[in-house]
Structure 1
Amino acid sequence: MASFTLHGIPVSRGIAIGRAHLLAPAALDVRHYLIADEQVEAEVERLQQAIETVHRELQTIWRELPKDAPAELGAFIDVHALILSDPMIAEMPLDIIRTRYYNAEWALVTQIDELSAQFDEVEDAYLRERKADIQQVGERVLKVLTGTAALPEPDGGDDAAARMIVVAHDISPADMLRFKERAFGGFVTDLGGQNSHTAIVARSLDIPAVVGMYKASALIEQDDWLIIDGDAGVLIVDPSPKVMEQYRERHARLMRERKKLSRLKKMPAVTRDGTEIALLANIELPDDCPAAMEAGASGVGLFRSEYLFMGRTGSLSKLPSEDEQFESYRKAVLAMKGRPVTIRTLDIGADKPLDVAEQTALNPALGLRAIRFCLAEPQMFLEQLRAILRASAYGPVKLLVPMLAHGFEIDQTLAMIEQAKTQLRDAHVKFDPLVPVGAMIEIPAAALTLPLFIKRMDFLSIGTNDLIQYTLAIDRADHEVAHLYNPLHPAVLYLLSTTISIGAKYGVPVSVCGEMAGDTKLTRLLLGMGLREFSMHPAQLLSVKQEILNSDLDAIVPQTKKILRTLEHLAIAEAVERLRAM
């Protein structure tokens, strides 16, 4: 196969070299090859095992159906189980393997195609539509056969895993959590933007990634050699030996530079003129805390609690209980050993739905999400608030509320926090009654009415990802408009600098916990605006610290003021580059 190059959106820096693992729905178009006599029974057994696996999957789905599930759903699963047991599916493909020497996938598809053609000739419309059921059953078996239904367990341990590059049409935030448990060299997706949650998790895992590649999953074949250039947003498929050697050398150089950065772990983050800067970590789960501690974080600036809730299909009754949440929060607090942990209340909605199948809003980014969702589900919200407050008995905790925009939302939220405290007091449960409460500034309306927040809240945290999205009317998960997402837009810079300066004026701490905080290209710009608290993924912390150690605020502040008076994008970008070079 000739080498070719694909271009996408770079979202996580670095270089990865490895074999492709396609994480995509199995299609009814599979590889066709003939097998030898001695392989026949092994191939028959492989197909039989795949059919048995799907049988078990269907039984599990049937057992776990919610009590209020429609009766049709159970009937639908029963139909699939019957189709799977029918000799036309369970036995005929085995005969094809034995007589025609087809591989298992080819034999199964051949039989499904023949059955589908027979159903096309049936006059009864209802029976004719059963072709779709047969094809869906075939899809399930093929997913097991081809291994595209799940992430693999690589042979050879961590070294083999590091050489594996995942290729997918798209990966949901919930699916991305599985990467926490496995080591992979990198990944590429057809969809996604610079600040989609898939991209954010890639950066948190510190693995090279490129998204928005459109047809990558269709053009790349299983086990193709791939090179990801996460800096340039380039994917090289089946590279030549010369190109491979060049990238191996670059990869080795990057590893040496990363090793040098590790020497900064125990150094305080202080600018050249002596200004101390707080560097905090963003985490998704308590298990991320060791990485935060290892990177030298002075605390957790953002614990995204929604990752405890995601992947829970069905009604609210399936969400994590108060005790389950409490144990997770307590685990994080204890793991940080006295450093503060800022826990954000549930920020569900938009590209982080509880259940993708239940997402029905026309524009979920503007719908019932984050604090709106929590206020609409007061019992669920009170459970989470109690769990967070209970964790505060084990170490310093700060409570952060997302997507506030109205004074009445702030008042309702504070009233519910007081209600949760009262409930804990009545139950004689320990908690810190002085837990600081902060607001996310991520809606332009919030940034433009800061006095509402200043007089009610203990601290502010700017969520730049959503602030940019809402200011520029850009869906950050939509690859078709991802190129318009611009953190250096003058309107975004105005809202950022205004929030930071007003917070400083009134003595209310302000941090940035969005992706801008971890972007070393913007570190000096944020310092020049007056930001003194950055929160980012642990993997980004040492690179940002290096920028801070080399920064002189006396030189940076005047240049930043000039940038904030500039309106033309190109002029802003050039000025930021000059700022980096100072």
Structure 2
Amino acid sequence: MSAAAAARQILTQLHEVMASRLHPQAKLDRVVEVIGEVLDSEVCSIYLLREGMLELFATRGLEQSAVHVTQLAIGEGLNGIIAERSETLNLAEAAAHPDFAYRPETGEEKFHSFAGVPIVYRERAIGSLCVQHADPRRYEDIEIETLQTVAMVLSELIAHAGLVDDETAALGAAASGPVMLQGLTLVKGIAGGSAVYHQPRVHIDHVVAEDTEAERQRVYLAFDKMRDQIDTMASQAEFGVGGEHVDILQTYKMFAYDEGWGRRINEAIDAGLTAEAAIERVQQRTRMRMREIDDPLLADRMHDLEDLSNRLLRIVSGQLGTAATQGLKRDTILIARNLGPAELLEYDRRRLKGVILEEGSLTAHVVIVARAMGVPVIGRVRGLRGIVREGDEILVDADKGIAHVRPVQQTADLFAERFAQSRQRQAAYAEMRDIEPFTRDGTRIQVMMNAGLRDDLAALPLVGADGIGLFRTEFQFLVSATLPARERQTRLYRDVLEAAGDKPVIFRTVDIGGDKAVPYLDSVTSEHDENPAMGWRALRLALEREGLLKAQARSLLEAAAGRKLYVMFPMVSEPWEFDAAKAVFDGQLAFLKARKKPLPEAIRYGAMLEVPALAEVLDQLLPKVSFLSVGTNDLTQFLFAADRANPKLAERYDWLSPAILRFLARLTQGTVGSGVDLGICGEMGGRRLEALALLGLGFRRFSITPVAVGPIKELIRKVDLPQIEETMKRLLASPTASIRAELQAWAEANGIDTD
């Protein structure tokens, strides 16, 4: 008998049982008999969640005296593990499992094999359904699939019959009392607001189909609509030759048209499920497979299928859109499993105060955008939906990687003090807007800001920055489903230049690939670098995909007509790479000249110094460039061979360690007299103590986040350069592991606040 046939036979009998006038206990007693008979199982048991414990509610094959007596805590025993993790167990020898918990009153010692599945209702486990046999054996896939299908139907029947705790009661104190969540700091900052889910739950209230063919047609129509959406996205590739756009959304299209996926959904409908339940049923199977996959490449592909399942489920249920579509009504902490950068940008920045993700990583595209938006983000917080309710008050301390849900008054008061102090500091820094950053000895320091979005330019006059020292052009590529057209790029660059007025804007050419992979260039990055930050990315990728760099070069040249254009190439490792990139711009410049197109009044070319090797050939590079910008984020991880995406290493290597500071000192000394402007663009320059050290090393141009401009300008006005230069020489002459403590003490002695 097939899984669908077995499931349908069970469902048919379950309908009869549930429609009868039997009381709930009698119904469950009959349910386990039906399942056991159809599956020819010696034991079939149902455990349900009551008052926070899993209670044996009905059984065929175990001792009846154990019903309502045997209880397991969540996470205790095999059924407790199933409920805690919402995962399936299939064991030939149950007692060999490390979490096996023997309950003598059940009489289960004579049974060896065990298979159990969670009974899930509205994304939380409300119990477990299991079968057992005396003979040791693993259960066939069709048996497991039958159990999973039956468990889905049981979930609706059990919940509606009031046999388990309601959602709030089941969550207990975790849903009503204060809870502190721990996660990974992705973007630092503090924030407070009400919890809003990015994607409100799709509640599947009807699991059993009344008309199988009607449900099948609903799925077919949903598949057609989803495939049309994917095809439309894929057809919007706007430039590129050869393989550049052949692979656009290839994985999505492959899964969207995968016959096996559609067939599994059809089989679930054959078993008697509604369209929504069938999709959810197959999605549950996908999630279980994802947990078993160690290969990150395969896991990513399964994530693609998970995303498509969500899309299909929302189409078939008619529950489209996100919380951004509805608009935020109050200060909000956004809750999501994961987010794309474009999705984050849909939210009202005035209301979006923070983000908490169940997943997320330091190199995710959404983190790059959130940092530019100044939105604190915590990631890798497990079990959010089981703890946080829509509308709950949340205080986010992303500096420490924690969030307080439904905080007690004392915690709220402490946060209020921190918010007040932060506002006072920001008000003081705002007063620096129109004040030029001269040091005490009269040296003018250039303080510029980083940007990457059109909206970022609004901060330029507000913070009083000297210009845009780093405009990350890749943001437009990261938030787009396809390669941005040349005309679209031109509009963005022109808008940025117009918003900046007479202040300079340094455009960094596109830095994608490696740890900033985009789906439409998957063919480029499909080799899946083990060390993506050191892989095929940035200028390396752009020089290979010359069509991409040509389009960007022409866009920048056209946008800067009549103005000064500053162009900076990322991740230059050797001088010839700079030459090759500049040659692309020279070619486009000649093209525009030949057609008598308006041109920039002047062009200045520079390079990012992130790769240590470039420092060894400065004598060859300096005659070619007008400026250099040291990218301290990548430079530090390359110097220390420390992946900043690895949480164990993220804080291990201090920016004030002698190695990095001595390296930076050599750079400033190596550019003296060259006429090349040397600056810092990176997080290091936006920290007051680190900025103090950089001033002492000879750096006179900073490009930092907008929120750091005021604090750094205020710091500069307190510094006497000859004093700090002498201090840095002394500290680096015979340093300790980090000069942080000594420099901090010197700053305090000289009345400089570095917090």
Aligned match for 1:328, one of 479, 486, 492 = 492
Higher relative contact order (CA 8 A, sep 6+): 1
Distance 1:251 1:151 in 2: 29
Does 552-561 or 333-342 show the bigger shift?
Answer: 552-561
Gaps of 5+ in 1: 35-47, 96-103, 118-131
Matched with 2:257 is 77
**Matches of 1:468 and 1:5, distance apart in 2:** 33
The superposition leaves residues 479-532 of structure 1 with CA deviations (integer Å, 9 ceiling, x where unpaired) of 343233532232222222222232233221011111112122312111111111
Letter aligned with residue 207 of structure 1: V
| Superposition deviation, residue 374 in structure 1 | 1.4
Q: Structure 1 residue 239: deviation in Å?
A: 1.6
1:575 corresponds in structure 2 to 742
Q: Judge conservation of contact 2:609–2:629 (CA < 8 Å) in 1.
A: yes
Which deviates the most, 221-230 or 137-146?
137-146
Q: 3-state DSSP class of the match of 2:699? A: coil
How far residue 292 of structure 1 moved from its aligned partner, in angstroms, is: 1.8
1:101 is aligned to: none
SS of structure 1 residue aligned to 2:180: strand
Residue 196 of structure 1, CA deviation: 6.9
2:397 & 2:305 partners in 1: Cα distance?
A: 42
Specify which of 433, 450, 454 is matched with residue 265 of structure 1. 433
Q: Is 1:23–1:168's contact at 8 Å kept on the other side of the alignment?
A: yes
Map Cα deviations across residues 208-250 of structure 1 (whole Å, 9 max, x no partner).
3344x55364764343432112344332233213322332233
Pick the aligned partner of 2:635 from 455, 464, 467.
467
**Inter-CA distance 426–137: structure 2 relative to 1 (3 Å threshold):** closer
Structure 1 pair 90/431, CA: closer, same or farther in 2 (3 Å)?
farther
Alignment correspondent of 2:544: 376
Letter of the 2:743 partner, please give it.
V
Pairing 1:493–2:493 present:
no
Paired residues of 1:192 and 1:477 also in contact (CA < 8 A): no
After superposition, the Cα gap between the structure-2 partners of 1:135 and 1:299, relative to the gap in structure 1 and judged at 3 Å, is: closer
Q: How far did residue 439 of structure 1 move?
A: 0.8
Cα shift at 1:424: 1.2
Q: 1:79, CA displacement in angstroms?
A: 5.0
* Distance in 2 (alpha carbons) for counterparts of 1:146 and 1:491: 58
TM-superposed deviation, 1:152: 1.3
Deviation at 1:10?
Answer: 4.6
In structure 2, the CA distance between the partners of 1:562 and 1:90, relative to structure 1 (3 Å rule), is farther
* RMSD (CA atoms): 4.2
CA distance in structure 1 between the aligned counterparts of 2:305 and 2:465, rounded to whole angstroms: 54
Structure of greater Rg: 2
Q: Out of 516, 527, 536, which is 2:695 matched to?
A: 527
Q: 1:203 to 1:56 in 2, by over 3 A?
A: same
Contact 1:439-1:453 within 8 A present in 2 as well? no
Given that 1:22 and 1:148 are in contact with CA atoms closer than 8 Å, whether structure 2 keeps it comes out as: no
Determine the C-alpha separation between the residues in 2 that align with 1:72 and 1:134. 8
CA distance in 1, matches of 2:732, 2:358: 36
Find the aligned partners of 2:463 and 2:318 in 1 and give their Cα distance. Answer: 36
**TM, length-normalised to structure 1:** 0.79
For residues 148 and 445 of structure 1, the distance between their equivalents in structure 2, rounded to whole angstroms, comes to 53
Question: Contact 1:51–1:141 at 8 Å: present in 2 too?
Answer: no
Shift of residue 474, structure 1, vs aligned partner:
2.0
Q: Secondary structure at the match of 1:446?
A: helix
Deviations 1:367-419 (A, max 9, x none): 22111111112232122112212222243220101111112212222322222
Q: How many residues align?
A: 536
Cα distance in 1 for partners of 2:396, 2:636 equals 27
- 406 and 17 in structure 1: CA distance in 2 versus 1, 3 angstrom threshold: same
State how far apart, in whole Å, the 1-side matches of 2:317 and 2:388 are. Answer: 12
Partner Cα distance (2:715, 2:508) in 1: 28
Q: Deviations over 1:333-389 (max 9, x none)?
A: 111111111111111122211228654222322222111111112232122112212
Within a 5 Å distance, the mapping from 1:293-304 to structure 2 comes to: 293-304=461-472
* CA–CA separation in structure 2 for the residues paired with 1:574 and 1:266: 33
What corresponds to 2:356 in structure 1?
188
- Post-superposition shift, 1:267? 1.0
Counterparts in 2 of 1:452 and 1:413: CA distance versus 1, 3 Å: same
Look up the match of 2:388: 221
Alpha-carbon distance in 1 for matches of 2:317, 2:733: 57
The corresponding residue for 1:435 is 603
Distance 1:466 1:449 in 2: 18
Structure 1 residues 261 and 376 mapped into 2: Cα distance closer, same or farther (>3 Å)? same
- Given that 2:439 and 2:719 are in contact with CA atoms closer than 8 Å, whether structure 1 keeps it comes out as yes
> Counterpart amino acid of 1:461?
S
- Looking at structure 1, the residues matched to 500 and 312 of structure 2 have their Cα atoms a distance apart, in angstroms, of 45
* Equivalent residue number for residue 4 of structure 1: 179
Matched residue SS, 2:355: strand
* Partner SS, residue 709 of structure 2: helix
CA gap 1:481/1:378 in 2 versus in 1, 3 angstroms: same
Please say which of residues 7-16 and 521-530 is displaced more in the overlay.
Answer: 7-16
- CA distance in structure 2 between the aligned counterparts of 1:430 and 1:348, rounded to whole angstroms: 29
2:323 counterpart residue number: 152
Going from structure 1 to structure 2, the CA distance change for 1:78 and 1:62 (only over 3 Å counts) comes to: farther
TM-score (norm 2): 0.62
